[in-house]
Amino acid sequence: MKLFLMLSLIVLGLGRLAFSAGTPEGQVMDVEGAWFSCEFAHSQIPPADGCKMLDDDGFMVAGGRIDHIKVTDSDQRGCRHQRFGQCFDRTQAKITVSRDPVGPIRATGDGFAITYWGCTQDYKMARRGDYFEVTPNGGHCLWTKDKRYFVSRYRGKLEIGG
């Protein structure tokens, strides 16, 4: 019984790590929720608008899992390259998204690690004002792009559509 309780506490402790990631200042932040790339950022250039507009592609982190999400109801004009509906204002009250599973995610000392297609990729995460900079760390998986991501958490209501 003692062994069972000890293992349960360890598993619960590790499960908690899946929901938070460290920052360079040593603080722990909660990474659960919906995250989207800043619309007006490029692979090596931070967003000129401070990440006020978000791209329609993003990720949902919940319960130690990460899913790809895509906004399905945006009618936003003025997105990058003048594309219609492929971005939205970060302060929008509600969005509807489609969702596809990616795989497990876990916290690391300075970010998080995602396992996909049998390979685990580490990422560093650093706060940059109203958004975060995410960069691949260490070796690269076949599916890893060698670029920086500038992302922000969406705080409005998220509806999963069919």
Tens of pLDDT along 11-69?
Answer: 333 333 334 555 444 444 578 899 999 999 987 889 989 999 999 999 999 999 999 99
Burial 17-42 (b: 16+ CB within 10 A, else e): ebbebbeeeeeeeebeebbbbbbbbe
pLDDT of residue 72: 93
What average pLDDT score do residues 84-92 get?
88
Q: How far apart are CA 115 and CA 103, in angstroms?
A: 6
Tokens 């895509």 belong to which residue?
A: 70
Three-class secondary structure of residue 72 per DSSP: coil
Q: How far apart are CA 157 and CA 138, in angstroms?
A: 35
pLDDT at residue 116 tops 80: yes
pLDDT of residue 83: 77
> What predicted TM-score, i.e. pTM, was given to this entire model?
0.78
Three-class secondary structure of residue 90 per DSSP: coil
State the CB neighbour count (10 A cutoff) for residue 159. 10
- Which helix (H) or strand (E) element contains residue 76? none
